[in-house]
Structure 1
Amino acid sequence: MTNQKEQFNQNIQLGVLGGGQLGRMLIQSAINFNLDIHILDPDAEAPCKDIATHFSQGSLTDYDTVYRWGQKLDLITIEIENVNVEALKALQKEGKKVYPQPEVIELIQDKRSQKQFYQGNNIPTSPFVLVENKADVQKHLDFLPAMNKLGREGYDGRGVQKIASAVDIDKAFDKPGLLEKFVDFEKEISVIVARNAQGETKSFPVVELVFHPVQNLVEYLFAPASISEAIARKAESIAQAVIEKLDMVGLLAVEMFVTKEGEVLVNEVAPRTHNSGHQTIEANITSQFEQHLRAILNLPLGATDAKIPSAMVNLLGEDGYTGIARYQGMDEVLAISGVAVHLYGKKLTKPFRKMGHITIVDTEQERLKEKAKQVKELLKVIA
């Protein structure tokens, strides 16, 4: 009997725009599928440089560079949103598969169009107004307190500024962006959801995020989130609605607020593997990286169930240190039961640079939190 299903092609030429830590962990999953990965990154010493099958140095935002690089590939994906979408659209027209689709990347590249998309598709999100510059922010004093976000180019906590009152106006960005009504939230959570070309979707269990108070970067992550079953179902339902309304193929991280009244509001999304899914490598049946590959290769999506409660601690460069990275406290951390260390292959450290992450697994939630605190205090990236 002939199998009518499309056969898995391990010889597919798969390209990834971006060669940072997300690309590095994607390659680690791709090895299990015997896939060759082509990487394009502007940094000659990018984390993927020594483990990619093919590594090219070049701009991700230059049309000609991206277009020429993509012509030899069958399938293209991203590990960062700041890429040239016009080149990807041209490649798509020529028959290359691009997932997530260029139109989705383009929409998500601008937080202004993101918010308008939520509003137009009845996705719950906080109220907002679009602003063109600092003077425009001044006209909306009655809307404060609010978060002023750059429309484009904000990344890893940059491009976000709290404007609590008129005295903070000088902090406002003098570029197109938005004012987003300040949400007095109880928790910040994230749901990672995947969708393949056949429309199959699966989401990972909700995780709880704890952010650095100054740098606006995730400091800790706990899975599962300490929320009610009803809130968890609502969050997963919203994440699925977002990826379906985008008609997106790939992996989508949906960051949300849980308000003190029990509302769930979408904050931002990222159309790629994400910091809020790193614990899935050790703690879930399928990791986010394998799931992304399954989605873009149009394979059946993997089970997302958690095998054990987990925590993730981001390993950031210590403030005051710049230079060749050294890891202080590694022996003590590796002696803790349930700890897995992931270093990102970055030779140089600088303040708050993402240098790695540590996953901790444990059957007891309180013990998990205690171990996460221990890891944070013990392991330091210095120079």
Structure 2
Amino acid sequence: MIDKLANSNLKLGIISGGQLGKMLIQEASKWAIATYVLDPDPDCPAKRIATEHVQGDFLDFDTVYAFGKEVDILTYEMENINIEALLQLKADGFKIVPDPQVLALIQDKGLQKEFYQKHNIPTSPFACYENTDAITKAIEEKVFTYPFVQKLRKGGYDGHGVALIHSAEDRLLDGSSMLEKKVEIDKEIAVIVARNDLGEVRCFPTVEMTFDAKTNLVEDLFCPANISGEDVKIAEDLAIKIIENLEMVGLLAVEFFIDLNGEILVNEVAPRPHNSGHHTIESVMTSQLEQMLRAILGLPLGSTNLIMPSVMLNLLGEAGHTGEVRYEGLSEVLSIEGVKVHLYGKHQTRPSRKMGHVTVLADTVENAFEKADKVKNIIKVKSWEK
């Protein structure tokens, strides 16, 4: 891979061409890497800047297998992929990073929790059930009690496939599920950790997140997190323990709960660039995207020292707005020092759809929040139809 990179003829394949794929391509272009994207959407965000866009279903075995054969190294920016095709590509000698077996474990939220349990990684109590009848029986027999969080074992993302169940009045999700006891949360934090094939590991500064209660999407995050140095060390050590026990090469985002007793619990992980790392593009010496490329290409990992404190806001489609997108307030927010706007290039908006993000930089987190509050009140994602 290094020889191909040095000669500017490396072909990087990326499964899924959403905003994460687009941002990864923007970073890869700095090293003259040719980028190939597989995505079913003929107008996916990454299409405009990829070397080549292959329109196809990433859940179809033949499509994924054929795509993987055409590139030097294959990676992905989402988890819901035909795993059998990736495993076959690996068996046939093609390079997929992170390893498909790691993805197979992370795809299944039940297997994820069992992995934490096996390796003595603190997480909330859980149990797995095949269907709603089995869940109902477990509740009736008091094997599992309210309140709990139900997560479909496969296919969930950005709050989809997740339900908070308070009582028998709440509707259960259909499908094989993992149930976990509801944690009384004080804070939610995340650590992104990278590891290359030489075993070098680096963590990014811990971030703290706030979530929208209705959409279960990140409303904002800030870095550095407002936690003790001791808690930072615990979170980083757990992130390192997970990526090393997975023997994973690549980038891993680890989300944590801190409960009301101050215990740090692993919630879940993602083996790819992550929403909790967007701020690194401007606020850290090496962005999560560059670090991922370094890790999967076998290069030395970059510095993760913080340049400036920051707040990151997701730009979500406004309620009641569906259709061709228009952004209000762009000029006004761009006149504020330290405000960096990223638009993902999605032409159609709908309520709560991720359409972009804004990173706000300042000398302190408090000052960044002052600016971010102004940004929130100014910039809006709407449709032309309204």
Matched, 1:157 2:159: yes
Match of 2:173 in 1: 173
Amino acid at match of 1:157: G
Match of 2:79 in 1: 81
- 2:62 equivalent among 31, 51, 64: 64
Match of 1:49 in 2: 47
Aligned counterparts of 1:6 and 1:35: Cα–Cα separation in 2: 12
The question of whether the paired residues in 1 share the 8 Å contact of 2:5 and 2:31 is answered with no
Q: TM-score with structure 1 length normalisation?
A: 0.96
After TM superposition, list the pairs within 5 Å mapping 1:179-328 onto structure 2: 179-328=179-328
Q: Provide Cα deviations, 1:113-151, integer angstroms capped at 9, x if missing partner.
A: 111111111111000011222222223334221101111
Q: Provide Cα deviations, 1:54-97, integer angstroms capped at 9, x if missing partner.
A: 11100001000011111121100000111111111111122211
Q: How far is the alpha carbon of 1:244 from its aligned partner?
A: 0.5
The question of whether the paired residues in 1 share the 8 Å contact of 2:5 and 2:33 is answered with no
Match of 2:359 in 1: 359
Q: Provide Cα deviations, 1:171-209, integer angstroms capped at 9, x if missing partner.
A: 211211011011001100000000111111111010001
Aligned counterparts of 1:380 and 1:29: Cα–Cα separation in 2: 27
Aligned counterparts of 2:118 and 2:211: Cα–Cα separation in 1: 29
Per the alignment, in what secondary structure is the counterpart of residue 45 of structure 2?
coil
The question of whether the paired residues in 2 share the 8 Å contact of 1:132 and 1:174 is answered with no
Aligned counterparts of 1:134 and 1:68: Cα–Cα separation in 2: 37
Amino acid at match of 1:123: I
Aligned counterparts of 1:332 and 1:7: Cα–Cα separation in 2: 44
The question of whether the paired residues in 1 share the 8 Å contact of 2:223 and 2:365 is answered with no
Aligned counterparts of 1:213 and 1:332: Cα–Cα separation in 2: 28
Q: How far is the alpha carbon of 1:364 from its aligned partner?
A: 2.2
The question of whether the paired residues in 1 share the 8 Å contact of 2:4 and 2:10 is answered with no
Aligned counterparts of 1:304 and 1:370: Cα–Cα separation in 2: 25
Aligned counterparts of 2:39 and 2:168: Cα–Cα separation in 1: 41
Amino acid at match of 2:53: F
Per the alignment, in what secondary structure is the counterpart of residue 292 of structure 2?
helix
Aligned counterparts of 2:67 and 2:167: Cα–Cα separation in 1: 48
Per the alignment, in what secondary structure is the counterpart of residue 360 of structure 1?
strand
Amino acid at match of 1:60: F
Aligned counterparts of 1:317 and 1:115: Cα–Cα separation in 2: 32
Aligned counterparts of 2:156 and 2:235: Cα–Cα separation in 1: 24
Amino acid at match of 2:95: K
Match of 2:382 in 1: 382
Aligned counterparts of 1:326 and 1:229: Cα–Cα separation in 2: 42
Identity of aligned residues (%): 53
Per the alignment, in what secondary structure is the counterpart of residue 163 of structure 2?
strand
Q: Provide Cα deviations, 1:288-315, integer angstroms capped at 9, x if missing partner.
A: 0000000000000000111110010000
Q: How far is the alpha carbon of 1:165 from its aligned partner?
A: 2.6
Per the alignment, in what secondary structure is the counterpart of residue 147 of structure 1?
strand
Aligned counterparts of 2:238 and 2:179: Cα–Cα separation in 1: 23
Match of 1:117 in 2: 115
Aligned counterparts of 1:70 and 1:6: Cα–Cα separation in 2: 20
Aligned counterparts of 1:63 and 1:112: Cα–Cα separation in 2: 24
Larger deviation, residues 304-313 vs 5-14: 5-14
Match of 2:147 in 1: 145
Report runs of 4+ in structure 1 exceeding 6 Å deviation: none
CA RMSD of aligned residues (A): 1.2
Match of 1:97 in 2: 95
Unaligned runs of 5+ in 1: none
Q: How far is the alpha carbon of 1:358 from its aligned partner?
A: 0.2
Amino acid at match of 2:269: V
Amino acid at match of 2:344: Y
Amino acid at match of 1:33: W
The question of whether the paired residues in 1 share the 8 Å contact of 2:12 and 2:72 is answered with yes
Aligned residues: 377
Aligned counterparts of 1:358 and 1:350: Cα–Cα separation in 2: 18
Unaligned runs of 5+ in 2: none
Amino acid at match of 2:38: L
Aligned counterparts of 1:178 and 1:82: Cα–Cα separation in 2: 17
Aligned counterparts of 1:72 and 1:330: Cα–Cα separation in 2: 40
The question of whether the paired residues in 1 share the 8 Å contact of 2:14 and 2:21 is answered with yes
Amino acid at match of 2:147: P
After TM superposition, list the pairs within 5 Å mapping 1:20-31 onto structure 2: 20-31=18-29
